[in-house]
């Protein structure tokens, strides 16, 4: 299975509580911070919630 590198590019100020909670669940707290997570349905669903705030890349 592939991994995804998720980077937060926009701040969480003035975002809905759901979007803030999703970003924190992904492990993103600061602008520019990146995390590598396993590519699965739950991760993809969380990415869709905050897709306008993050950039996603596939890594091996």
Domain locations in the chain as residue ranges: 3-59
pLDDT of 60 above 90: no
CA-only gyration radius of the chain, Å: 11
| Confidence tier at 1 by pLDDT (50, 70, 90) | confident
CATH superfamily entry for domain 3-59? Ribosomal protein L30/L7 (3.30.1390.20)
pTM over 0.85: yes
Strand partners, 60: none
Give the mean pLDDT of the chain: 97
Give the pLDDT mean for 32-55: 98
pLDDT of 55 above 80: yes
Q: What is the pLDDT of residues 16-31, one digit of tens each?
A: 999 999 999 999 999 9
CA 46 to mean position of chain CA atoms = 7
């Amino acid at each position: 299975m592939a991994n995804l590198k998720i980077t937060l590019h926009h701040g969480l100020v003035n975002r809905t509580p759901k979007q803030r909670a999703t970003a924190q669940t992904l492990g993103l707290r600061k602008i520019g911070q990146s995390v590598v997570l396993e590519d699965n349905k739950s991760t993809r669903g969380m990415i869709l919630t905050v897709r306008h705030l993050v950039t996603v890349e596939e890594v091996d």
